[in-house]
């Protein structure tokens, strides 16, 4: 294990010393058996068992054995979700839900992301999770299926992270973890409550040499949540988030031959051009909640942020000879912000509980986009001449209404409607004799209805059905170039529109046992697909139809006081339903109807067996299966299926003033070689991003009461 970083004194001497400080207490009944509360599906606190939608919540604090850097560490147990750690912090994680977002080559596309209600997805549909601060989080909620459409553009699913409230007893928490490839993380967290004021403050530092060559990264993040109870039924919450990711190296993908010969290697151009990315972001938000009496309440959210991105790409010099090319260095400066005003009423309708929410949402991003050559003379990987300069503005204005009515003891109806208008405007400031003015604007609009019905067939069985319509606009990156090679933005693209249906059953047949099964279909017209990919640029086209059929199964079973079994399984058949042509080469290559949508495995599963609790010894074993994944529209190659397993062991003790928990974790126990993620439709055939072999990590978390 290259570059292992160990904290042996914490594991050995630390446990021995602390174990004598306090005897092991009897294990109390686990809170895992209590109903989880979620808000993403209905915008109010609900038990997911009684919601006519596929929604799950992950308790982040219940995973003491995680490094706590990437959301993928926590999402493997949710069916329908494929979260891939790319081992590349220059490109962020790959996250898809029921096949939506799988084709994204960087960031998160087709899935809406939120932190405490603040969008981490911009109005055009492009998002990122790099500023998700998991050390201060309470839970992650994942909403799949039709009700995701109530979040507007590009909502094939919704992932929302919630920062924990301040604790009743003030606590200070220090976490350290380190392991293979010189990866280590340290965080400090303080949370508490005093009168009407509560706080949760966190600072996290992470760095790694990376599993592959040329993949070193360092990331520092901070998150603060401050809450004040004001007056009669009022609360103000202030949210502050900051991220610094300087010069994260980008190892790019590998061809199949490179992947099979040496998975740690990089393509030569990555080192020649020193491919890398820097991100700096600061964000401020505030939420005002006011109880108006009589069941009425108001909630007002506002936020503002600034994000700087500089990225060096491996675009050959020859490709940049085209006067319409934007170069090999991307320089983005973005100001973004927005607001959401919501009114809620809870009361009775025809003698049965009824809840109605209506709101207005507005978001805006103004991005100064500049492009430069990535060479000066014979020197590569340096900023050269200016090749692009424009102001790109995108905004949305949405109106939404949602109702939840328990129309009879055994029946609950949930319905909603959202109207969205997304405006794109580009002002070109780089105009030459050979590069004409590319300015332009376009507006997209859609109305998305959703409805669901839940039937309580028995105390232990709920059945439900839901249906809805959604849409997905092109992002500015997809509008950047025209497929015909001419100047100007690709404003001929139109939004993809989806009809989404789902039926399911949720079961609680016994204490500690919970299961669910969902069957779904999503039919999309005007699906966005690649038209050409060559010379460092990708263009897109709308194609006729696509379909995503699938099934999800989940099981959670606490079959003894200290034992828990978790299982999640997904089957997904995602295919293009109409033929189209891929024109990266001449002549164009036909893609026949029935071809699989790339980046999506047909099957994947997760199983985990856990033993123990917060105090004393604990251990777990988990295994994941991912089926073969086509890497391009033609289906000419694919990443093989794989099964990987991991295990961890830990120990927790109660001290007079707090708690100490330690863990040792080993991933990829059997040292399998596999592609953890793929770069869909890569123009150079570098589709494969290798996952690490066997790795180990050792950590400790110490919190004490102040």
Per DSSP, the residues of 484-505 read TS-SS--TT---EEEEEEEEEE
pLDDT given for residue 447 in this prediction: 97
pLDDT range class, residue 16, cuts 50, 70, 90: very low
Any idea what the Cα angle at residue 174 is, between residues 173 and 180, rounded to 5°? 140
Q: Which domains does the chain carry? A: 8-36+172-705 (2.40.170.20)
Tell me the two tokens of residue 219.
């990331």
pLDDT, averaged across the chain: 92
Determine the Cα–Cα distance for residues 660 and 675; give it in Å rounded to an integer: 36
Nearest in space to 552 (alpha carbons), one of 568, 531, 536? 568
pLDDT given for residue 625 in this prediction: 98
Taking the alpha carbons at both ends of the chain, their separation in whole angstroms is 39
Sign of CA dihedral 684, 688, 692, 694: negative
Determine the Cα–Cα distance for residues 264 and 670; give it in Å rounded to an integer: 18
pTM (2 decimals)?
A: 0.93
pLDDT given for residue 1 in this prediction: 41
Tell me the two tokens of residue 165.
């409230």
Sign of CA dihedral 550, 541, 474, 535: positive
Sign of CA dihedral 633, 639, 645, 648: negative
CA 64: distance to chain centroid? 20
Cβ atoms 267, 252 nearer than 8 A: yes
The beta strand positions in 250-295, using DSSP E, are 276-293
Tell the residue number behind the tokens 């604790």, with chain if given.
167
444: number of Cβ within 10 Å: 19
Least confident residue range of 24-33, 131-140, 575-584, 619-628: 24-33
Residue 495 above 80 pLDDT?
yes
pLDDT given for residue 4 in this prediction: 38
Q: Tell me which H or E stretch contains 574.
A: strand 563-576
Cβ atoms 27, 561 nearer than 8 A: yes
pLDDT given for residue 9 in this prediction: 32
Question: Phi first, then psi: what are they for 567, rounded to 5°?
Answer: -145, 135
Determine the Cα–Cα distance for residues 368 and 201; give it in Å rounded to an integer: 32
Which residues have C-beta within 8 Å of that of residue 63, sequence separation ≥ 6? 73, 74
Residue 15 above 50 pLDDT?
no
Residue 56 above 70 pLDDT?
yes
pLDDT given for residue 34 in this prediction: 56
Beta bridge partners of 145: none
Determine the Cα–Cα distance for residues 320 and 317; give it in Å rounded to an integer: 5
Burial status of residue 218 (CB atoms within 10 A of its CB: 0-12, 13-18, 19 or more): middle
Determine the Cα–Cα distance for residues 317 and 302; give it in Å rounded to an integer: 44
Radius of gyration of the chain (CA): 25
pLDDT given for residue 706 in this prediction: 81
Determine the Cα–Cα distance for residues 640 and 346; give it in Å rounded to an integer: 52
Beta bridge partners of 534: 537
Tell me the two tokens of residue 516.
């669910």
Cβ atoms 610, 566 nearer than 8 A: yes
76-133 confidence digits (pLDDT tens): 999 999 999 999 999 989 999 999 999 888 889 999 999 999 999 999 999 999 999 9
């Amino acid at each position: 294990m290259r570059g292992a970083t160990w904290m042996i004194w914490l594991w050995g001497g630390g446990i021995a010393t602390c174990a004598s400080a306090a005897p092991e207490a009897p294990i109390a009944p686990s809170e895992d058996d209590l109903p989880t509360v979620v808000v993403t599906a209905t915008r109010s606190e609900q038990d997911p068992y009684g919601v006519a939608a596929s929604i799950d919540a992950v308790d982040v604090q219940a995973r003491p054995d995680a490094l706590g850097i990437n959301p993928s560490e926590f999402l493997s147990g949710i069916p329908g979700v494929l979260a891939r750690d790319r081992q590349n912090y220059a490109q962020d994680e790959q996250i898809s839900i029921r096949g939506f977002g799988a084709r994204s080559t960087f960031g998160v596309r087709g899935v809406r992301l939120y932190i405490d209600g603040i969008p981490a997805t911009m109005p055009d549909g492009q998002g990122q999770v790099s500023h998700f601060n998991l050390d201060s989080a309470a839970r992650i909620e994942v909403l799949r299926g039709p009700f995701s459409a109530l979040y507007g553009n590009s909502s094939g699913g919704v992932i929302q992270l919630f920062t924990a409230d301040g604790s009743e007893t003030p606590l200070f928490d220090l976490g350290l973890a380190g392991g293979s490839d010189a990866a280590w993380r340290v965080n400090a967290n303080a949370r508490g409550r005093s009168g009407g004021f509560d706080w949760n403050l966190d600072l996290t530092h992470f760095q790694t040499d990376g599993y592959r060559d040329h993949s070193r990264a360092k990331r520092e993040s901070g998150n603060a949540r401050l809450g004040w109870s004001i007056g009669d039924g009022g609360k103000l919450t202030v949210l502050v988030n900051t991220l610094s990711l300087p010069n994260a190296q980008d190892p790019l993908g590998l061809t199949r031959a490179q992947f099979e010969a040496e998975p740690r290697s990089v393509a030569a151009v990555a080192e020649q051009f020193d491919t890398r990315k820097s991100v700096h972001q600061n964000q401020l938000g505030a939420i005002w909640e006011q109880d108006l009496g009589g069941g009425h309440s108001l909630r007002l959210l506002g936020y503002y942020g600034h994000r700087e991105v500089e990225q060096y790409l491996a675009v050959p010099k020859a490709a940049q000879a085209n006067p319409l090319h934007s170069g090999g260095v991307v320089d983005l400066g973005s100001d973004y912000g927005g607001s959401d005003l919501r009114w809620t009423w809870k009361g009775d309708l025809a003698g049965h509980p009824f809840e109605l929410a209506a709101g207005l949402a507005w978001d805006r991003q103004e991005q100064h986009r500049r492009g430069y050559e990535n060479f000066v003379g014979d020197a590569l990987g340096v900023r050269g001449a200016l090749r692009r300069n424009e102001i790109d503005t995108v905004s949305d204005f949405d109106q939404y209404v949602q109702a939840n009515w328990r129309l009879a003891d055994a029946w609950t109806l949930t319905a909603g409607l959202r109207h969205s208008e997304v405006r794109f405007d580009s002002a070109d400031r780089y105009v030459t004799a050979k590069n004409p003015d590319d300015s332009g604007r376009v507006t997209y609009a859609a109305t998305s209805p959703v409805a669901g019905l839940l039937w309580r067939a028995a105390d232990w069985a709920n059945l439900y059905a839901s249906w809805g319509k959604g849409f997905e606009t092109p992002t500015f990156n997809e509008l950047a170039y025209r497929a015909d090679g001419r100047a100007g933005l690709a404003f001929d693209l139109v939004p993809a529109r989806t009809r989404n249906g789902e039926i399911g059953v949720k079961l609680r047949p016994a204490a500690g046992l919970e299961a669910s099964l969902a069957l779904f279909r999503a039919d999309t017209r005007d699906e966005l697909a690649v038209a050409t990919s060559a010379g460092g640029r990708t263009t897109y086209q709308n194609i006729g139809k696509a379909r995503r059929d699938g099934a999800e199964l989940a099981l959670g079973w606490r079959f003894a006081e200290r034992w828990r079994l978790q299982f999640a399984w997904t089957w997904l058949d995602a295919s293009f339903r109409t033929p189209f042509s891929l024109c990266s080469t001449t002549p164009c290559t036909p893609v026949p109807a029935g071809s699989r949508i790339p980046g999506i495995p047909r099957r994947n599963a997760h199983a985990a067996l856990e033993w123990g609790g917060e105090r004393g010894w604990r251990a777990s074993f988990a295994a994941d299966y991912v089926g073969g994944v086509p890497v391009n529209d033609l289906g000419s190659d694919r990443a093989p299926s794989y099964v990987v397993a991991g295990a961890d062991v830990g120990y927790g003790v109660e001290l007079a003033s707090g708690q100490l928990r330690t863990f040792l974790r080993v991933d990829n126990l059997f040292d399998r070689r596999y592609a953890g993620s793929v770069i869909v439709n890569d123009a150079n055939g570098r589709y494969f991003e290798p996952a690490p072999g066997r790795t180990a990590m050792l950590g400790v978390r110490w919190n004490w009461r102040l």
